[in-house]
Every structure is written in C-alpha cells, then in structure tokens.
Amino acid sequence: MRQSEVIIGERYFARVNGTLCLVKITSRTPWRRGRLNVFEAENLRTGRRIRLTAARLLGRHEGWEDANESENPAQGGAAMNFFKVVRRTEEGALVSCATENPELMVRYKPGEWVEAPVGGLLVFSNWASADGFACGLHAKTYKAYEVWQCEAENEVQLPDLRVVYTDFTNAVRWLWSQVSLRPLLDEINLRGFEPWPTGTLAFRRVRLLEKCEKGGGPGALP
C-alpha cells in the first residue's frame, strides 16, 4: 500500500514474520526506513506492539462489525474476515465465479466450510477489490455475481500469475504446482496468463458469512 493511504486507527492485513495477520495502526512514528514512514501497530492476534511500513500492508480490513475492543485479541477477538465473489446460478446455487468446469467448480452454502479441489480458494482483502472484480465479470458474461463476506483459513501461496482460461483443468493444476513461474517466464507462452487482481489472497478453506450490500455497490449484479 501507499503510505498516504494508511489511516491511523484503522485495521489492515499485513504479513508479520511471514504470517498473515490483522493489525491496527495506532500511530505514525518519527522513524523512517529509507524513504518510508514507520507506523506503530498492534497485532490483533497476539496483542503485541509492532512497527512496520505501508509496504507490508496488504489492504484495509472492512469487516461488517469491528472487533470488540474489550475482547482479548490473543483469544481471537478480531476475526479475519475477507470478501468472496461467487456466481448465482439460475437454480439459485452459489458456485465458483470464474469456472464452469465440474472438476474445479466449488458449490458454496452460507455458514458451511468448503475446501479447494486444486490449490486455493480466492478471496479479496477488501470489499472494493471484490466488487470491482465482480463488476468486471458481469460486464463480460452478463451473469449474476455476488460479493459475500467470508472467513478463511490455511493460507495458500498465490502463484506469480493466474490462468485466464480456468476451464482447463490441467493448466490450473500445473499453475498451482509451481512455487514460482519466474524461472520459466522465457519458456512459456504468457498469452494465457495475467496478474492477479489487486487484493487477491488464497486459502484452503472458506466459509461464506453474509451477502454484502455496502458502499452503494450491489450485492448481486442483475
């Protein structure tokens, strides 16, 4: 993130010692790392004070309900909620938004955990990124997409790029098997790959919580 986007008192996702955490920015310190300001924050999982730059922040936490300040963060008082884009079928089922391949498609039921058949299930760190992605899909397909607040666990490392045509099972399996595509960039055809949308994260398991109706954006696109 840009340091100009950081707001004192807000919650953000950040990587602390390689682990995805939820932190609350408490103040801007007088120290700098190179040209970057250093912020003081509280790790809401452990309750510890940490210092970090905006470069380590992955996105603002936009949970429906703020964590109860009186709860002990070390006891899980601040839930790590994300945003998931799903497609609603004509039969009313909620399914994966980017594929119709039965080997890869996931069916979601609110309140129930589901697991990724390959790699990870994609979520967004903030509502704006999820809503923008849903609007982009709707513009291409004219199908109904919804943004849901969700819980996620067991983070999975994203590959360097995403497959554009996700109906090809072998291509998706190959992509998730690669720790890094950088050594292969000169050898593979990049026409079928593109960068991940801003704010994308991946987890092994996801549970839908509540359909979003926020910020003027529709929860379901007609």
HSE toward the beta carbon, residue 74, CA cutoff 13 A: 4
23-77: per-residue pLDDT in tens?
888 988 877 766 677 888 998 878 889 888 887 787 777 654 443 333 333 334 4
At residue 89, the pLDDT reads: 92
156-196: per-residue pLDDT in tens?
888 877 877 666 777 777 778 765 555 555 545 556 677 88
Which fold would CATH assign to domain 3-61?
Answer: SH3 type barrels. (2.30.30)
Kind of pairing, strands 200-211 and 113-115?
antiparallel
Q: Which residues pair with 122 in a beta bridge?
A: 202
The verdict on pTM exceeding 0.85 is: no
Res 20 pLDDT > 60: yes
Q: Domains of the chain: which residue ranges?
A: 3-61, 81-211
Res 153 pLDDT > 70: yes
**CB-based contact 52:12 (threshold 8 Å):** no
Average pLDDT over residues 16-21: 77
69-98: per-residue pLDDT in tens?
333 333 344 456 799 999 999 999 999 998
Q: What is the DSSP string of 83-103?
A: EEEEEE-TTS-EEESS---TT
3-state SS of 28-46 is EEEEEECCEEEEEEEECCC
CB within 8 Å of 70: residues ≥ 6 apart: none
At residue 13, the pLDDT reads: 83
